[in-house]
Structures are given as C-alpha cells and as structure tokens.
C-alpha cells in the first residue's frame, strides 16, 4: 500500500516510522532486537553510545506531552545526538503559520530528524511526503491514527515477559475510538502473530467496523478478560463524558474499571499495561496499577530503548539484526 511504502527506503529498510501498519514481522522484530541491545545502556556509568553523534533531532510537538517527549529526548541524547525541543502548541501555528511553512523553516536549519506529535491524523504522513529526502520523520502520535513507538515499547514489554507472541491472548480495554495507541498496538500484535486480540468497550468508544482490524469485540469486561495473558488499559479522557459518549466516571469504573477481582478471570500470570498517564479510580484501581502484575513503569523505561532503536534504524546507523541471523 502506498500509504505505508513511504516508511521504507528502496532496500526495504526503515526510513520514516509513521505507523506499525504495513511493516512486516521481521522489521518489527528487528526493532525489538535492537531495543534489547540498547536496554542495558541506561544502567551503565556512561549512558551514551555514539551512533548519532553530530546529528540534530528536533522534537516537534504540536500537542502537549511530557512523558513521550522526555523519553524521546533521553533516547536521542543517549545516541549522542543534539536535541532541539520545539513546542508548537504555543508557537508558530498559533500565529497562523501552516504546517508546511513550519516544515520549510526547520529544514532550513539543517536538522536530520523530526519527531512529530500532532493533533491531526495523518500529520506525520503529510510531513514525510513533503519533507526533503534527507530528513527522517518519527511519528510520536498523530490524531487518532497512530503512535507506533508506544506500540513497539508495549510489544517489547510483552516479549520481555511472555517470550513467544504466537500463543498470547491480548485484551485492550477502553476508549479504542479515540486511541492512536490502540490502533498501533492492534496492527503490531496482529503482525507479530498473537493468537487473539480483543477490544473491550461500550459501543460509544468503539470505531465503526473495528473488527476489520482483526480483533474480537467484547462489551463486557469479565467476558473479555477471560483467559487473557496481557491486559492493556487505555486512558479515559474527561471530554468523553461531556460529549455524551459516557454517563459518568463512576459508571465507567463500575463496568470497565480494572480491579483485582475482575482480573481473576485472566491467566494467573497475566500482566497489566497502561500507556499512561493513568486515571486511578477511573479506568484502573490503584491496587492493580501498583500491584505485582502491573508492568506500567517498566513500559516507561523500555520506551527509551525502543525509541533509541527506531531512531538509529531510520538514520541507517544499524545493521539489520534479522538479516544477520539469516
């Protein structure tokens, strides 16, 4: 598909990382393998590798974010790149500058990579299409479309605990409709060949024809959690109550909030994930969030390794791990 080919160079290697959709299993595994080799870097006395020395990476955030921006910044610095943070939410576009003009301006500063977060679906594709060929684009979240590095760090966390994807049942719970994380996770999970992906939500939080993404749909939490190996909880935004999608936080927690009791129907060794930031008492009970099955904080530290891998791969600084094996 043309929409995805844009992510690869002529040799089929990662050029831009815009979505997990349309990338093959080998490439996704490659990202995880490289991330594995970076995972130890943070524990060393000198937390840097010189792979991107002399390169300039711009964090271009059109939407506020702390966690994602910080881990991208850390990842870039551990690769020895220079990092520029631009917060456009309060900058140029509010003065009426178009995205294309912003892009041209930054290009003129001779940067090598843009890490982009934008409120409109397809913004990262748009930039990849219009940017000069030497610049790489990493999608740090576009509208409701994709958040591929978040999905890959979740895959990394899942593999860390479960080793083999093929036998897993994974449930994603909550606001699938407005979640770029969920979409990217679904594509990654189905590509990596998990046994079953389930989405659990009321109809108001499910996008039309969601089953065409290759998932099984549940409206009841207990039924959906039965026998699963991985539970991914999604953040519930307060706007959903205002726009008549849900009656109240209390009612949501009562029906879809993850509690220890509800988790009992899952496998004994099931892990609980959440892309953060969490709403305690809305989508997840405090005891579960801090409980022994929760891997939420591990997700954050894995985020740095995965982002290092993606950045280094798209800059062409790494040899292909899967190719090495074959």
CB-wise, 100 or 250, nearer to another protein?
100
What is the closest distance, in whole angstroms, from the C-beta atom of residue 300 to another protein in the complex? 24
Rg (CA), the chain: 19
CA-to-CA separations, 235 to 95, 275, 281, in angstroms, rounded = 31, 8, 11
What is the closest distance, in whole angstroms, from the C-beta atom of residue 253 to another protein in the complex? 26
Q: Which one among 35, 75, 76, 99 touches another protein, defined by CB under 8 A?
A: 99
Q: Where are the beta strands (DSSP E) in the chain?
A: 56-61, 82-87, 113-118, 136-142, 169-173, 196-200, 216-218, 230-233, 271-273
What is the closest distance, in whole angstroms, from the C-beta atom of residue 203 to another protein in the complex? 13
Binding mask 194-233 for another protein (x = CB under 8 A): -------------xxxx-xx--------------------
What is the closest distance, in whole angstroms, from the C-beta atom of residue 55 to another protein in the complex? 26
Q: Is residue 98 near another protein by the rule CB under 8 A?
A: yes
CA-to-CA separations, 38 to 34, 43, 87, 299, in angstroms, rounded = 6, 10, 28, 15
What 236-241 contacts at long range (C-beta under 8 Å, 24+ apart), as own/partner pairs, is: 236/174, 236/175, 236/279, 236/282, 236/283, 237/175, 237/178, 240/175, 240/178, 240/204, 240/205
Tell me which DSSP letter residue 163 carries: S
Q: How far apart are CA 11 and CA 157, in angstroms?
A: 29
Q: Which one among 15, 16, 21, 320 touches another protein, defined by CB under 8 A?
A: 21
What is the closest distance, in whole angstroms, from the C-beta atom of residue 185 to another protein in the complex? 13
Of residues 120 through 139, those in contact with another protein by CB under 8 A are 120-123, 125-126, 130
Number of residues near another protein (by CB under 8 A) = 28
What is the closest distance, in whole angstroms, from the C-beta atom of residue 23 to another protein in the complex? 15
Q: Is residue 38 near another protein by the rule CB under 8 A?
A: no
What is the closest distance, in whole angstroms, from the C-beta atom of residue 322 to another protein in the complex? 26
Q: Is residue 94 near another protein by the rule CB under 8 A?
A: no
CB-wise, 97 or 249, nearer to another protein?
97
What is the closest distance, in whole angstroms, from the C-beta atom of residue 324 to another protein in the complex? 32
Q: Which segment (25-33, 119-127, 264-272, 297-305) binds another protein by CB under 8 A?
A: 119-127
Q: How far apart are CA 315 and CA 299, in angstroms?
A: 24
CB-wise, 47 or 130, nearer to another protein?
130
- Residue 121: count other Cβ atoms within 10 Å of its Cβ: 15
Question: Which run of H or of E encompasses 78?
Answer: helix 67-78
**Do residues 46 and 171 touch, judged by C-beta distance below 8 A?**
no
Q: Is residue 144 near another protein by the rule CB under 8 A?
A: yes
Four-residue CA torsion sign, 289, 290, 291, 292: positive
CB-wise, 123 or 296, nearer to another protein?
123
Q: How far apart are CA 200 and CA 206, in angstroms?
A: 9
Tell me which DSSP letter residue 235 carries: P
CB-wise, 210 or 312, nearer to another protein?
210
Q: Is residue 185 near another protein by the rule CB under 8 A?
A: no
**Do residues 268 and 227 touch, judged by C-beta distance below 8 A?**
no
- Interface ranges with another protein (CB under 8 A): 1-3, 21, 98-100, 118, 120-123, 125-126, 130, 142-146, 180, 183, 207-210, 212-213
């Amino acid at each position: 598909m043309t929409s995805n080919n844009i992510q690869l160079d002529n040799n089929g290697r990662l050029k831009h990382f815009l979505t997990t959709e349309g990338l093959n299993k080998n490439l996704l595994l490659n990202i995880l393998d490289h991330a594995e080799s970076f995972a130890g870097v943070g524990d060393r006395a000198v937390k840097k590798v010189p792979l991107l020395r002399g390169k300039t990476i711009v964090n271009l955030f059109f939407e506020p974010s702390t966690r994602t921006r910080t881990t991208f910044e850390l990842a870039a610095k551990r690769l020895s790149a220079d990092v520029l943070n631009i917060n456009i939410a309060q900058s140029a576009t509010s003065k009426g500058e178009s995205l294309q003009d912003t892009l041209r301006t930054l290009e003129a500063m001779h940067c090598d990579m843009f890490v982009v977060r934008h409120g409109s679906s397809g913004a990262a594709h748009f930039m990849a299409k219009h940017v000069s060929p030497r610049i790489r684009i990493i999608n740090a979240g576009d509208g409701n479309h994709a958040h591929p590095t978040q999905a890959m760090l979740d895959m990394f966390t899942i593999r860390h605990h479960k080793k083999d994807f093929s036998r897993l049942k994974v449930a994603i719970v909550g606001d699938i409709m407005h979640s770029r994380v969920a979409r990217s996770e679904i594509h990654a999970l189905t590509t990596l060949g998990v046994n079953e992906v389930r989405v659990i939500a009321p109809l108001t939080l499910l996008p039309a024809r969601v089953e065409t993404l290759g998932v099984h749909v549940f409206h009841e939490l207990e039924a959906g959690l039965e026998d699963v190996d991985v539970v991914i909880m999604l953040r519930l935004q307060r706007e959903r109550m205002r726009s008549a999608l849900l009656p109240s936080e209390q009612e949501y927690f009562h029906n879809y909030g993850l509690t220890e009791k509800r988790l009992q129907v899952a496998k004994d060794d099931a892990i609980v994930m959440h892309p953060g930031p969490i709403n305690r008492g809305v989508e997840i009970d405090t005891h579960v969030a801090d409980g022994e099955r929760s891997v939420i904080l591990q997700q954050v530290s894995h985020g740095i390794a995965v982002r290092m891998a993606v950045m280094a791969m798209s800059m062409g600084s790494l040899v292909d791990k899967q190719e090495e094996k074959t």
